[in-house]
Amino acid sequence: EAGVAQSPRYKIIEKRQSVAFWCNPISGHATLYWYQQILGQGPKLLIQFQNNGVVDDSQLPKDRFSAERLKGVDSTLKIQPAKLEDSAVYLCASSRQGSNQPQHFGDGTRLSIL
Amino acid sequence: DQQVKQNSPSLSVQEGRISILNCDYTNSMFDYFLWYKKYPAEGPTFLISISSIKDKNEDGRFTVFLNKSAKHLSLHIVPSQPGDSAVYFCAASADSGYALNFGKGTSLLVTP
């Protein structure tokens, strides 16, 4: 099966600009996650969707980050305005619904803020 | 607050020998544990998982052991191969359908 697709792979912007990332999960996966991975750290959850509803967005900086998953398939994550500390790799993952279903990750978008 | 800890940032092992990667956790609500392997410029790849009702799970050269009383798990790779050189992340969740809490990773180098 095709894996999780993310674009773009790399993005460089100046602080205070806006940026958007796109994710297409594995077909049939109802649950979609966005993680932020800062250099030297493990991934940290930003938001989790179940179909097109939000399950957990407790760690999403809502003053600047937003995400949506229209129609319960693709998802976009937006940052506006970007800050220097947002430089990181943004990873999208998906999983089947149900117990003990591993999350499968895309290759991520590496964001650099100048 | 780091709830999943991988205290060894790096590990070097000779080809053919056993690699043992360790992970400790603090949250007693965690009941599903996973190991991911990550190559540079790629996303984490799922390797193996274990639920809290088991203490061991095997998949080929990879075995994960879980010690709930010690809140400790380990990944054994036997025999180690140069292609196993990567960063290994331990992850845990309080329910398999919810967010994963990751450690900081251990960089494994398998030398010929």
Tell me which residue of A1, A55, A53, A56 sits closest to A28, measured CA to CA: A1
| Selected residue with higher pLDDT from B52 and A72 | B52
The secondary structure of B18-58 as a DSSP string is -EEEEEEE--TT--EEEEEEE-TTS--EEEEEEETT-SEEE
Tens of pLDDT, residues A26-57: 999 999 999 999 999 999 999 999 988 999 99
| Residues of A in Cβ contact (< 8 Å) with B46 | 102-105
Q: Does B4 touch chain A (CB under 8 A)?
A: yes
Tens of pLDDT, residues B14-39: 999 999 999 999 999 999 999 999 99
Contact A65, A86 (CB under 8 A): no
- Interface of chain A against chain B, CB under 8 Å? 4, 6, 31, 33, 40-45, 48, 55-56, 91, 93, 95, 97-108
∠ CA A109-A114-B1, nearest 5°, is 60
Contact A20, A77 (CB under 8 A): yes
What are the CA-CA distances from residue A64 to residues A81, A89, B7 (Å)? Answer: 6, 17, 33
From B41, B45, B102, residue closest to A43, measured CB to CB: B102
Backbone φ and ψ for B24, nearest 5 degrees, come out as: -120, 150
Contact A110, B53 (CB under 8 A): no
From A91, A101, A105, residue closest to B96, measured CB to CB: A101
Residue A23 pairs in a beta bridge with A6, A75
Tens of pLDDT, residues B41-91: 999 999 999 999 999 999 999 999 999 999 999 999 999 999 999 999 999
A70 pLDDT higher than 90? no
Tell me which residue of A93, A89, A90 sits closest to A30, measured CA to CA: A93
pLDDT of the residue at B97 = 66
